[in-house]
Structure 1
Amino acid sequence: MIKHEEKFCPRCNASFECKVGSVGLCQCSAVKLSDAERSYTRERFSDCLCAECLKELKAELHNNSLKARLMHLLRMR
Protein backbone atom coordinates (compact mmCIF):
# COMPACT_ATOMS: atom_id res chain seq x y z
CA MET A 1 0.00 0.00 0.00
CA ILE A 2 1.31 3.44 -0.95
CA LYS A 3 2.02 5.75 1.96
CA HIS A 4 0.92 9.28 1.17
CA GLU A 5 2.45 12.41 2.59
CA GLU A 6 0.93 13.94 5.72
CA LYS A 7 0.82 17.72 5.27
CA PHE A 8 -0.36 20.77 7.13
CA CYS A 9 -2.35 23.39 5.30
CA PRO A 10 -0.28 26.60 5.10
CA ARG A 11 -3.46 28.66 5.40
CA CYS A 12 -5.26 27.08 8.39
CA ASN A 13 -2.70 24.56 9.69
CA ALA A 14 -5.15 21.62 9.40
CA SER A 15 -3.50 18.27 8.73
CA PHE A 16 -4.42 16.27 5.65
CA GLU A 17 -3.07 13.43 3.56
CA CYS A 18 -1.58 14.57 0.25
CA LYS A 19 -1.99 11.96 -2.48
CA VAL A 20 0.06 13.61 -5.20
CA GLY A 21 0.75 10.17 -6.69
CA SER A 22 -3.00 9.48 -6.83
CA VAL A 23 -4.41 12.95 -7.44
CA GLY A 24 -7.85 11.58 -8.30
CA LEU A 25 -8.07 10.20 -4.76
CA CYS A 26 -6.65 13.29 -3.06
CA GLN A 27 -8.92 15.43 -0.88
CA CYS A 28 -8.22 18.44 -3.09
CA SER A 29 -9.77 16.76 -6.14
CA ALA A 30 -13.20 17.31 -4.57
CA VAL A 31 -12.80 21.05 -5.24
CA LYS A 32 -13.01 21.92 -8.93
CA LEU A 33 -10.99 25.03 -9.74
CA SER A 34 -10.89 27.06 -12.93
CA ASP A 35 -7.57 28.25 -14.35
CA ALA A 36 -8.17 31.67 -12.77
CA GLU A 37 -8.90 30.07 -9.38
CA ARG A 38 -5.74 27.94 -9.60
CA SER A 39 -3.67 31.04 -10.45
CA TYR A 40 -5.25 32.99 -7.58
CA THR A 41 -4.33 30.18 -5.18
CA ARG A 42 -0.79 29.77 -6.54
CA GLU A 43 -0.13 33.51 -6.18
CA ARG A 44 -0.85 33.23 -2.47
CA PHE A 45 0.45 29.78 -1.49
CA SER A 46 3.32 27.64 -2.74
CA ASP A 47 2.15 24.34 -1.23
CA CYS A 48 -1.00 22.21 -1.10
CA LEU A 49 -4.03 23.49 0.78
CA CYS A 50 -6.76 21.52 2.51
CA ALA A 51 -10.05 21.17 0.64
CA GLU A 52 -11.84 23.57 3.00
CA CYS A 53 -9.32 26.34 2.32
CA LEU A 54 -9.53 25.69 -1.42
CA LYS A 55 -13.31 26.16 -1.19
CA GLU A 56 -12.85 29.37 0.80
CA LEU A 57 -10.31 30.78 -1.68
CA LYS A 58 -12.62 29.89 -4.57
CA ALA A 59 -15.43 31.83 -2.85
CA GLU A 60 -13.05 34.71 -2.03
CA LEU A 61 -12.06 35.11 -5.67
CA HIS A 62 -15.72 34.95 -6.73
CA ASN A 63 -16.68 37.61 -4.15
CA ASN A 64 -13.77 39.85 -5.16
CA SER A 65 -14.80 39.55 -8.80
CA LEU A 66 -18.41 40.47 -7.99
CA LYS A 67 -17.26 43.46 -5.92
CA ALA A 68 -15.03 44.67 -8.75
CA ARG A 69 -17.89 44.41 -11.25
CA LEU A 70 -20.25 46.21 -8.89
CA MET A 71 -17.74 49.01 -8.33
CA HIS A 72 -17.28 49.31 -12.10
CA LEU A 73 -21.05 49.60 -12.59
CA LEU A 74 -21.35 52.20 -9.85
CA ARG A 75 -18.58 54.31 -11.40
CA MET A 76 -20.40 54.24 -14.75
CA ARG A 77 -23.38 56.11 -13.28
Structure 2
Amino acid sequence: MACHETKYCERCHATFECKLGNILQCQCNGIRLSDEEKEYLAAHYKDCLCRDCLEAIKQEARIKSKWQSLFNLLKWRK
Protein backbone atom coordinates (compact mmCIF):
# COMPACT_ATOMS: atom_id res chain seq x y z
CA MET A 1 0.00 0.00 0.00
CA ALA A 2 1.38 3.38 -1.00
CA CYS A 3 1.97 5.87 1.78
CA HIS A 4 0.72 9.30 0.65
CA GLU A 5 0.46 12.21 3.02
CA THR A 6 -0.64 15.82 2.69
CA LYS A 7 2.13 18.04 4.02
CA TYR A 8 2.79 21.73 4.46
CA CYS A 9 5.99 23.13 3.05
CA GLU A 10 8.09 24.57 5.89
CA ARG A 11 9.46 27.27 3.61
CA CYS A 12 6.37 28.67 1.85
CA HIS A 13 3.55 26.92 3.76
CA ALA A 14 1.94 25.54 0.57
CA THR A 15 0.24 22.16 0.80
CA PHE A 16 1.47 19.26 -1.30
CA GLU A 17 1.14 15.51 -1.41
CA CYS A 18 4.21 13.59 -0.28
CA LYS A 19 4.33 10.15 -1.86
CA LEU A 20 7.02 8.51 0.22
CA GLY A 21 5.41 5.14 -0.47
CA ASN A 22 5.83 5.68 -4.23
CA ILE A 23 8.86 7.90 -4.65
CA LEU A 24 8.74 7.69 -8.45
CA GLN A 25 5.46 9.64 -8.39
CA CYS A 26 6.44 12.04 -5.62
CA GLN A 27 6.58 15.74 -6.48
CA CYS A 28 10.26 15.88 -5.51
CA ASN A 29 11.29 13.01 -7.78
CA GLY A 30 13.83 14.11 -10.36
CA ILE A 31 15.23 17.04 -8.40
CA ARG A 32 18.95 16.39 -8.03
CA LEU A 33 20.50 18.00 -4.99
CA SER A 34 24.20 18.53 -4.43
CA ASP A 35 25.75 17.48 -1.13
CA GLU A 36 25.88 21.14 -0.09
CA GLU A 37 22.18 21.62 -0.88
CA LYS A 38 21.30 18.48 1.11
CA GLU A 39 23.34 19.74 4.06
CA TYR A 40 21.61 23.14 3.88
CA LEU A 41 18.16 21.53 3.81
CA ALA A 42 19.01 19.21 6.72
CA ALA A 43 20.31 22.14 8.78
CA HIS A 44 17.33 24.43 8.12
CA TYR A 45 14.28 22.20 7.68
CA LYS A 46 12.92 19.19 9.52
CA ASP A 47 10.56 17.88 6.82
CA CYS A 48 9.88 17.87 3.08
CA LEU A 49 9.61 21.04 1.04
CA CYS A 50 7.39 21.55 -1.99
CA ARG A 51 8.90 21.22 -5.45
CA ASP A 52 8.83 24.98 -6.07
CA CYS A 53 10.89 25.63 -2.94
CA LEU A 54 13.36 22.85 -3.72
CA GLU A 55 13.88 24.33 -7.17
CA ALA A 56 14.19 27.85 -5.70
CA ILE A 57 16.86 26.67 -3.26
CA LYS A 58 18.77 25.06 -6.14
CA GLN A 59 18.54 28.34 -8.09
CA GLU A 60 19.73 30.35 -5.07
CA ALA A 61 22.67 27.96 -4.65
CA ARG A 62 23.62 28.39 -8.33
CA ILE A 63 23.49 32.18 -8.02
CA LYS A 64 25.54 32.11 -4.81
CA SER A 65 28.13 29.88 -6.49
CA LYS A 66 28.40 32.20 -9.49
CA TRP A 67 28.80 35.26 -7.26
CA GLN A 68 31.44 33.45 -5.20
CA SER A 69 33.34 32.54 -8.38
CA LEU A 70 33.18 36.13 -9.59
CA PHE A 71 34.31 37.43 -6.20
CA ASN A 72 37.26 35.01 -6.17
CA LEU A 73 38.22 36.05 -9.70
CA LEU A 74 38.13 39.75 -8.82
CA LYS A 75 40.03 39.16 -5.58
CA TRP A 76 42.70 37.24 -7.49
CA ARG A 77 43.15 40.11 -9.97
CA LYS A 78 44.03 42.69 -7.29
User: Do these two structures clear the TM 0.5 threshold for a shared fold by scoring above it?
Assistant: yes
Tell me the TM-score normalised to structure 2 length.
0.86
Match of 1:33 in 2: 33
Please show how residues 57-76 of structure 1 align to structure 2 within 5 Å. 57-76=57-76
The 4+ residue runs of structure 1 with deviation greater than 4 A are none
List runs of 5+ in structure 1 lacking aligned partners.
none
Aligned residues: 77
- Does the 8 Å contact 1:31/1:55 carry over to 2? yes
Q: Give me the whole-angstrom Cα distance separating, in 2, the residues matched to 1:62 and 1:46.
A: 23
Cα distance in 1 between the residues matched to 2:35 and 2:15: 25
Deviation, structure 1 residue 46:
1.5
Deviates more, 1:33-42 or 1:12-21: 33-42
Question: Using a 3 Å threshold, how does the CA distance of structure 1 residues 3 and 23 change in structure 2: closer, same or farther?
Answer: closer
Q: What is the rounded CA distance, in whole Å, between the counterparts of 2:61 and 2:73 in structure 1?
A: 18
* Structure 1 residue 24, shift from structure 2 partner: 1.1
Give unmatched runs, 5+ long, in structure 2.
none
Q: Is the 8 A contact 1:40 1:61 kept in 2?
A: no
TM-score, normalised with respect to structure 1: 0.87
Please say if 1:48 is aligned against 2:54: no
Code of the residue aligned with 1:9 in structure 2: it is: C
